[in-house]
Structure 1
Amino acid sequence: MKQMLVHCHDDTVQMALIEDGKLVEYAAERSRQQSIVGSFYLGKVVNVLPGMQAAFVDIGLKKNAFLYVDDVLHPHLEKQPKPKPSISELLHVGQEVMVQVMKDARGGKGPRITTHYSLPGRCTVYMPTADYVAVSKKIQSEGERDRLRMIGERLKMGEEGFIMRTVAEDEPEQTILNDLEYLREEWEMIQSKASRAAAPALLHRDLGILQRFIRDMFDPDSDELIIDDEAKGAEAAVYLKDRVNEGEPNVQLYRDAMPLFQRYGVDEQLKMRFSRKIMLPEGVAVVIDHTEAMTVVDVNTARFIGGDNFEETVLRANLLAAEEIAGLLRLRDIGGIIMIDFIDMDREEHRQQVTAAIEKVMAKDRSKSYIVGWTKLGLLEMTRKKARESVLLLSYKPCPACGGRGVVEG
């Protein structure tokens, strides 16, 4: 059973997902800094750069959005022209184009946008122009994958496409159809608004953090949803009733004098697992450093005394660290390039065991990750997709004395 905790304070909403007493996912959002990922805009092309195969589009924000040529071509790879055309053949300055935000603006960069539209529901991700049906890789049963694929082909209309999400596993066809019809109606409303709007204009804002968490992670049959704000509790109940359609939603309003996150041990776990150095109970240390280009993770034995011999000790330490690191990537929502410096292992089979340990935990992660492999220097290289701003930025700011370098001038 999972517990979804929602803590509201001033203009900030914090979400914590607890599994068997352990904090596995955390997110926070301020109302004035709400993410625009997933939102639709009618934009106007302001610059086309053939040398970069990209265009800049005004969607009404402070910074123009970036549109790469691959995100203008047909979303189905088999229907894309070969060779790839120049961006100047597809777009021109002054052209109006409907786009969807893929990544929030970061630093000096504007948001990343696409014309590969998608609307996520509970059971499906609806893609109105994709023209294919896919099934989540996290569904392991081949029989179930075939069943869902056949349902998808039956329900597919014209050029539309969709992905069967993990939640669709074992769901009846009617439940999937209900989800799909809701998304079709949503798409029609977006198109209708676009036909009447003048660029730049917001056409559709994606769900807030509370609804996204409920949609993607909450099982009304078995999970607990506990909220310490009456207004947000009512909001969650309405959303559950309209979208999940499972009878009366079980939303618990927390009224205890002790703060919600303190009662369930979230504050303590956040402090420990968002530190630069994380000590595992067994004595293994994991150190995480963030650079502009990548995240670097170092593993050392610290106080771990291990097994009967050196190789066994190293393997056990690395396996413990691998499981913790995979969980930390999800919890801290670390994205981009990730380099992990495990304790050196001489045997290939031991490296494979460590890789398998990370993959097993990452299979529960909603964000896509890809393990590239071991470098010649013995580092494990991987990537993890990330679209929204780091939750760390809500709680921490760069030191004004050292500019965020983590040192003090002598």
Structure 2
Amino acid sequence: MTTLKQLLMHGSKEGLYAAVLDNGILVDYASQLHDPDQPGQVQPGAVMGNIYKGKVVNVLPGMQAAFLDIGLSKNAFLYIDDALHPNLEKREKQSAGKPSIRDVLRPGQELVVQVVREPGGGKGARVTTHISLPGRWLVYMPEAAYVGVSRKIGDEQERERLRIVGERIRQPEEGVIMRTAADGLPDDALADDASSLRELWQAVSEEASQKKAPAVLHLEAGLVHRVIRDMLAADIEEVIVSDRQLYKQVGSLVHAMAPGREKLVRCYEARDNLFDHFGISRQAEQALSRTIQLVSGGYIVWDQTEALTVIDVNTGRFIGSDNLEETIYRTNAEAAELIARLLRVRDAGGIIIIDFIDMESDANRQRISQQMEALTRMDRSRCTVVGWTRLGLLEITRKKSRLKALPSAVTTCSSCGGRGLLPQ
């Protein structure tokens, strides 16, 4: 059976939206809203990946953390692990313990930090001194001093080749992580990517030496650039954009970042809404619902807090076969596939607890956890299946890429507290 994987981008006065469809099914989503008070400008708060020069405001020994003024409305949070030099952090973890935060930072001290978690929920941004700059083929880390390879590259011979290339192109104290897109690429393409990122870091460092804190040193690329960089995978067969202006921008970026694939890009010429035409708006609304139906007749209930996501699986109307255990397993297997997809679409992060329907068979529980492991390997964000708890719940952790992805297009009703999509 042939499959069609499409990347769609839609621009409106509210913002920019991107979606990936796999045979018409929504499997990934990203958005960037515009500031309603400044048309054409990104909504305030979208600071993930930005680099700042910050000033230490408070040092809290009891929390082994510090608060920094980086120029945002709320001070940023810096934990001790993110304040230590990357190599020092590894050595300290292997020895007696970490130094006190008071021995590392002091009020008034200035340092260069990068946002690793968006501000939200009454909290400021979380920042780190471990800078990483993502490129098309690799991630450049000025002080990491190691070479990593994406776990999604399974061929051990290719992994070893990339490690050797990484060691050759990095300078002392530098680190690189070969992204999945680096699979099979020639050495010179990887070297060029590392060189351009090194030049970017040198420019950021130069600016840091000239500015006083708080100051912005580097802004993460906008959504269009990030989408082409991160979502235009090798299996994407078609890129469709909503208007001519966006078509020119996307075509230019594809030419620069993925030369030879420009022919995949086309402009949507019809008058109706691109996302409505491909059913993305409908699928997005269903994906955001608290209760989501399974094809078999079962359903899942999805509850999400700031740091914890709880998912309950139910058989519903699905009566299955004469074998109860088989009915339960089939419902759980279908739910696992849906949950893995919705983790990407909703960009759920932190701790994820799934209450699958109780199974008597240890073999079936093992099959479900293995299925989740296989499905989450397709996730662009780091996702780990921790295993079954003593209460029979499946525990997963997932690194959240941004504070809001799909939910950024959602508003809360002032009367009933329900949530729904804003019209595009």
TM range (shorter): over 0.9
The residue that corresponds to 1:349 in the other structure is 363
The residue that corresponds to 2:8 in the other structure is 5
C-alpha distance 199-170 of structure 1, shift in aligned 2 (>3 A):
same
CA deviation vs aligned residue, 1:144-199 (integer Å, no higher than 9, x gap): 11111111111121110110111111111111112111111111111111111111
Deviation (angstroms), 1:243:
2.8
> Is 1:239 aligned to 2:242, yes or no?
no
C-alpha distance 293-151 of structure 1, shift in aligned 2 (>3 A):
closer
> Is 1:325 aligned to 2:339, yes or no?
yes
Distance 1:173 1:292 in 2: 42
The residue that corresponds to 2:32 in the other structure is 29
C-alpha distance 191-62 of structure 1, shift in aligned 2 (>3 A):
same
Contact 1:4 1:18 in 2 (8 A): yes
Contact 1:101 1:111 in 2 (8 A): yes
Q: Secondary structure at the match of 2:331?
A: helix
C-alpha distance 345-219 of structure 1, shift in aligned 2 (>3 A):
closer
Deviation (angstroms), 1:273:
2.2
- From 94, 104, 111, give the equivalent of 2:125: 111
Distance 2:24 2:419 in 1: 35
The residue that corresponds to 1:152 in the other structure is 166
Deviation (angstroms), 1:403:
5.6
Contact 1:41 1:98 in 2 (8 A): yes
> Is 1:45 aligned to 2:56, yes or no?
yes
Q: What's the Cα RMSD here?
A: 2.0
Deviation (angstroms), 1:219:
4.2
Contact 2:181 2:233 in 1 (8 A): no
Distance 1:213 1:251 in 2: 13
> Is 1:78 aligned to 2:81, yes or no?
no
Deviation (angstroms), 1:248:
4.8
CA deviation vs aligned residue, 1:271-309 (integer Å, no higher than 9, x gap): 222221111222121111123442111111112122341
Distance 2:172 2:264 in 1: 38
Q: Secondary structure at the match of 2:391?
A: coil
- From 196, 203, 209, give the equivalent of 2:217: 203
Contact 1:56 1:65 in 2 (8 A): yes
The one-letter code of the counterpart of 2:301 is: V
- From 9, 19, 23, give the equivalent of 1:20: 23
C-alpha distance 214-296 of structure 1, shift in aligned 2 (>3 A):
same
Deviation (angstroms), 1:250:
4.3
Q: Any stretches of 5+ residues in structure 1 without a counterpart? A: none
Aligned residues: 406
Q: Any stretches of 5+ residues in structure 2 without a counterpart? A: 36-42
The one-letter code of the counterpart of 2:411 is: K
Distance 2:192 2:129 in 1: 25
The residue that corresponds to 1:261 in the other structure is 275
Q: Secondary structure at the match of 1:307?
A: coil
Question: Which piece of structure 1 moves more, 236-245 or 271-280?
Answer: 236-245
Distance 1:305 1:10 in 2: 47
The one-letter code of the counterpart of 2:186 is: P
> Is 1:382 aligned to 2:392, yes or no?
no
CA deviation vs aligned residue, 1:70-100 (integer Å, no higher than 9, x gap): 0011223534474311111111111110000
- From 272, 281, 305, give the equivalent of 1:291: 305
The residue that corresponds to 1:91 in the other structure is 105
Question: Which piece of structure 1 moves more, 78-87 or 189-198?
Answer: 78-87
Contact 1:127 1:160 in 2 (8 A): yes
CA deviation vs aligned residue, 1:201-255 (integer Å, no higher than 9, x gap): 1010001112111101214785322111333222222222333344756432222
Distance 1:153 1:370 in 2: 27
Distance 2:307 2:141 in 1: 32
Distance 2:219 2:76 in 1: 16
Contact 1:240 1:249 in 2 (8 A): no
C-alpha distance 235-270 of structure 1, shift in aligned 2 (>3 A):
same
C-alpha distance 247-263 of structure 1, shift in aligned 2 (>3 A):
closer
Contact 2:17 2:29 in 1 (8 A): yes
TM-score, reference length from structure 1 = 0.94
CA deviation vs aligned residue, 1:98-137 (integer Å, no higher than 9, x gap): 0000011012100000000000111111001000001111
TM-score, reference length from structure 2 = 0.91
Contact 2:240 2:267 in 1 (8 A): yes
Contact 2:411 2:419 in 1 (8 A): no
- From 47, 56, 65, give the equivalent of 2:76: 65
Deviation (angstroms), 1:268:
2.1
The one-letter code of the counterpart of 2:11 is: C
